[in-house]
Structure 1
Amino acid sequence: MDFEIPVVFEITAFIVLSLILLADLLLVVKRPHVPSPKESGLWVAFYVTLALIFAGLMFVFVGPTAGGEFVAGWLTEYSLSIDNLFVFVIIMAQFAVPKKMQQEVLMVGIILALLLRGAFILVGAALIENLSWIFYIFGIFLLITAAQQAFSGREDDEQRESKLIGFLRKRIAITDQFHGMKMRTVIDGRKIWTPLLIVFIAIGTTDLIFAVDSIPAIFGITQSPFIVFTANIFALMGLRQLYFLLGHLVDRLVYLKFGIAFILAFIGVKLTLHALHENELPFINGGNPVPVPEIDTITSLVVIVLSMAVAVVASLVKMRRDGVSLSEVGPSADDDEPVVVEATAEGEKPQAEGGDAARTGSGSTPAARE
């Protein structure tokens, strides 16, 4: 790392980002709703523009190397966040989470992701500082992850969620219906968990898995903890709105996982080359650095952009050949009629929006319906 980030710049950046995240959180709490595609698109554009502005400030106040590393790191984390988004789509569908609850559920998931990634960043930075050979471990790990990403089917995620449902329902009492954002409620005088508990466990587990994957990947782009953390923040900001904008389309981007796998494999190779270049292990070249080429930031940036572009374009071409239009993968009318559970004098009973009687079992989990 041949640059130094001014302390004032770091402090100012963290203050501004904290205020933006707090404002986003308050917006969800005060106005829970299902955003329209236009609203979601504007928010996604806002956060992308914000990231590009931040990159420009990095170029001006820190230097082109730092700016380039931030852009490459942000794009890497953004691509992995889109894959994370697909799992969120599975979780929401698997547990039949009502649409109007999904904003709040996603916000919890994003906060958990930030906390977990922050912890992994601190650990990763400490390991890199004290153990130069850790790059070998990171490189091999990313190559294995890339292979799993490319050759494991997305149905594996659904199977894991189904096993989680079965495991928890056998051990704790869980109601079949959501009761707002309550994780626990009282039915017939007895305290019982709601499906929201399983949703949060599933999302937290997903966040943990993606944190383990994403942190080694971005440390392959930059060794600056500040850039690693800010790139993660910008990648996760707007993920909630991206869910409502592209949630129904992500499943159709069938080649997206191959693009992400290629990026992970490329960074795995880059980390391995870097480890060889900085080698200190006595059983490799007598403990001396190995004269291998290193991949620069510009090359990394080009590979990341092209990989995602090719994957998305190829997926859209396949959709067109299969006769599937974008309108056919949009949200259905039923998605806009979530079940809301309200408390009454007799207890709690489900009601559909607008005061109509709720459809029986529409808020139940798949395991409950079986």
Structure 2
Amino acid sequence: MAVPLWAWGAVIAFTLALLALDLFVLHREAHEVTLREAAWMSGLYAAAGLGFGAVVWAWRGPEAGGEYLAGYLIEKSLSVDNIFVFALIFSYFGIPARYQHRVLFWGVIGAIAFRALFIALGAALLDNVDWIVYVFGAFLVYTGVRMARGHTVEVHPDRNPVIRLMRRLVPVTGELRGQRFLLREGGRWVATPLLAALVMVETMDVVFAVDSVPAIFAITDDVFIVFTANVFAILGLRALYFLLAGTIPRFAYLQLGLALVLVFVGAKMFLTDVGKLPVWISLGVIAAIIGASVAASLWTARRDRGGAPPAAGAGAA
């Protein structure tokens, strides 16, 4: 089903409105995001994402609505894996909690742009190269197996080629200058650690997008659904970071759950010529895997703490 231009325009306008509200109203001044603030912001973005799913359901029917919800759940779940990486980046560059939101805000804008590019490229490949679906499937299964075996994305800013290139082009100061990314010093432009952290965040998002974009194409080849599921999942990533950054180590089985999801959706791509698995079965399997991994993690954390409930996470990395 062809999606009219007004629908694309409405999604983009709504996304820009949420970003403007975030930057110019909620976080106009630099401050440390509290747990309470992160919680209601996470609720707001989750409501927006699920609410859009209801709109898709009413507008295009249960099949499209189910595809959106499955894609949104995959992207939201995989985005949790980013949180620990962000914490490591902020720790490496010494970014205080009050400035972390600014880095993540611009990081989200870059992430949306990169995801749009990856989605357009993926759609073009799927439309023009029949066998690429098996390449995507094999890559997802391979990534899932590696993740299940404990192989995770490592953060080494000192070895990152993009960071090295940036440092050659623009000198990086050793200290922060408020919320500024760039400033003129001694007649030349210099970058602050805030810009270095942002570049690293964007670099890592490209790495994560290589997994997440093929994963959602395993659910649907509808570019509108793929794009909107990505956008609404990414919009809530900042709030989710401040809500969960201090508690991610307690989700011991989440990585295994995400690995199983990647293997499942990768296997689905191999079975494309055999038959399409109903979207509600896919949604149920994905939800069951993620739900079981979270429940097992929380139960283990509670047991290890001697029956005490897990403590709430802090807003700072």
TM-score w.r.t. the length of structure 2 is: 0.89
Q: 2:93 aligned to 95, 99, 120, which one?
A: 95
Find the residue that maps to 2:251 and give its secondary structure. coil
Deviation of residue 180 (structure 1)? 1.8
1:262–1:106 Cα change, 3 Å: same
Give the residue type in structure 1 aligned to 2:293: A
Deviation of residue 328 (structure 1)? 4.7
1:142–1:186 Cα change, 3 Å: same
Partner of 2:219: 221
Q: 1:161 aligned to 157, 173, 181, which one?
A: 157
Write out per-residue CA displacement over residues 65-110 of structure 1, whole angstroms, 9 at most, x where no aligned residue.
1101000011111111111222112211222211110110010111
Return the alpha-carbon distance in structure 1 between the equivalents of residues 13 and 190 of structure 2: 40
Residues 291-302 of structure 1: pairs in structure 2 closer than 5 A: 292-302=274-284
**Which moves more between the two structures, 183-192 or 93-102?**
183-192
Deviation of residue 175 (structure 1)? 3.1
Q: 1:308 aligned to 290, 293, 296, which one?
A: 290
State whether residues 138 and 268 of structure 1, in contact with CA within 8 Å, keep that contact through their aligned partners in structure 2: yes
State whether residues 53 and 68 of structure 2, in contact with CA within 8 Å, keep that contact through their aligned partners in structure 1: yes
Return the alpha-carbon distance in structure 1 between the equivalents of residues 140 and 277 of structure 2: 16
State whether residues 141 and 262 of structure 2, in contact with CA within 8 Å, keep that contact through their aligned partners in structure 1: yes
1:212–1:66 Cα change, 3 Å: same
Return the alpha-carbon distance in structure 1 between the equivalents of residues 102 and 116 of structure 2: 21
Partner of 1:68: 66
Deviation of residue 184 (structure 1)? 4.1
Q: 1:82 aligned to 80, 83, 102, which one?
A: 80
Residues 37-56 of structure 1: pairs in structure 2 closer than 5 A: 37-56=35-54
Query: Between Structure 1 and Structure 2, how many residues are aligned?
Result: 313
State whether residues 5 and 62 of structure 1, in contact with CA within 8 Å, keep that contact through their aligned partners in structure 2: no
- The higher relative CO (CA closer than 8 Å, separation ≥ 6) is in 2
State whether residues 181 and 192 of structure 2, in contact with CA within 8 Å, keep that contact through their aligned partners in structure 1: yes
Return the alpha-carbon distance in structure 2 between the equivalents of residues 193 and 170 of structure 1: 8
Deviation of residue 21 (structure 1)? 2.6
Partner of 1:16: 14
Percent of aligned pairs with the same amino acid:
37
Give the residue type in structure 2 aligned to 1:307: I
Whichever of the two has the greater Rg, that structure is 1
State whether residues 79 and 233 of structure 2, in contact with CA within 8 Å, keep that contact through their aligned partners in structure 1: yes
1:196–1:36 Cα change, 3 Å: closer
State whether residues 255 and 311 of structure 1, in contact with CA within 8 Å, keep that contact through their aligned partners in structure 2: yes
Q: CA RMSD in A?
A: 2.6
Partner of 1:342: none
Return the alpha-carbon distance in structure 2 between the equivalents of residues 328 and 28 of structure 1: 26
Return the alpha-carbon distance in structure 2 between the equivalents of residues 326 and 116 of structure 1: 39
5+ long unaligned stretches in structure 1: 278-291, 337-370
State whether residues 35 and 314 of structure 2, in contact with CA within 8 Å, keep that contact through their aligned partners in structure 1: no
Return the alpha-carbon distance in structure 2 between the equivalents of residues 73 and 115 of structure 1: 18
Deviation of residue 150 (structure 1)? 1.9
Return the alpha-carbon distance in structure 2 between the equivalents of residues 220 and 10 of structure 1: 22
State whether residues 30 and 179 of structure 2, in contact with CA within 8 Å, keep that contact through their aligned partners in structure 1: no
TM-score w.r.t. the length of structure 1 is: 0.77
Residues 1-370 of structure 1: pairs in structure 2 closer than 5 A: 3-27=1-25, 30-154=28-152, 157-158=154-155, 160-161=156-157, 163-164=159-160, 168=164, 173-185=171-183, 192-274=190-272, 277=273, 292-323=274-305, 328=311, 330-331=313-314
